[in-house]
Amino acid sequence: MNTARLGTRLGALELPNPVLTAAGCGGTGRELAQFFDLDRLGAFVTTSVMTQPRAGRPTPRMAETPSGLLTAMGLPGPGIEGFLERDLPWLAEQDVHTIVSVAGNSVEEFGELARRLRGVPGIAAIEVNVACPNVEDRGRMFAWHPGAAASVVRAVKAHARPGVPVLAKLAPDVTDIVTIALACVDAGAEGLTLINTLEGMAIDTGTLRPALTGVSGGLSGPALRPLALRCVYQVHAALPGVPIIGVGGVSSGLDALEFVLAGASAVAVGTTLFHDPMAVPRILRELDEALAVRSIGRIGDVVGLAHKPAGFVPPQVLPEPPVPATEPDRDPDPRAGSEYASEPLSGPAPAGPGN
């Protein structure tokens, strides 16, 4: 595997490769470590951490759908105390870049989480999950309004350790995701994660009731990928200098390449891990092979390539050398190369009028 070809950047953060885990899909990391070494990841993104421990919603809180998965977990977790005491130190021992996802029900809670993380080593970046209900606004999601999303990002930036990138994770079920992205970047976000799940539901025709205890849940998996690609493409077009982590239905190396071409500098794998815990090493290998087949020298050279006009070839994409035209076979002149080569051939003059 070509490590030089796969290295990428999220602003000031350098990553060994562009394949990450999606928040909430890798557990504490211990679950995935049974299948592969976590240092093979570009980065491990934690489950969203809140100030207090949460048991989450009662079951059933997951339901399969065609080409997707509905989840209504309720953000279960140990709270910031348990996370700092048990989970983050263990991740630091794995020699993996750790991006800590934070969630809250108020701007103050987000700020408090960033403050608690400020002096803690081993944090590569903070991902702000703005798809959380704002208790101060009738439970409306922060991600639904540019001002609310920006206020959360601003609070995290104010308390986070300088030099630690802050990434805003946005929801797709909004009128204009570009407007939300612009607001978050103006508030100080150095990067964006696109996208969170899309709200949906399923009904159990056996019980004749909703399949999830919470009625609705977040849709993820391959069914979400076309929507996620559209969001990445649109936001990159508006903010080409802002790094993006593409999330939504990544299950192969070619899926990852699609996101990169749309404008993502990295991708996060989520739902696929539930049925293929070895998905990350496989996707990374497939992505490397896809780049090699296309003569792509560095993945950074094709970030957003789908926005370029037809025929555009980045410097590191090496075109096939032209095949030289072959001359038709002809009988060689036996006198070529001799001292007589410049002399006219002798012989009778051709017949013509008067001869």
Pairing of strands 98-102, 140-141: unpaired
DSSP 8-state symbol, 222: G
Closest to 171 measured CA to CA, from 115, 219, 222: 219
> For every residue of 144-178, which 3-state class applies, written as one string?
HCHHHHHHHHHHHHHHCCCCCCEEEEECCCCCCHH
Closest to 42 measured CA to CA, from 71, 13, 67, 64: 13
Of 25, 132, 184, 231, the catalytic one is 132
Residues in the chain, total = 355
132 is catalytic: yes
Cβ atoms of 296 and 5 closer than 8 Å: yes
Cα dihedral 142, 148, 153, 158, rounded to 10, equals -130
Closest to 130 measured CA to CA, from 114, 141, 138: 141
Residue numbers annotated as active site: 132
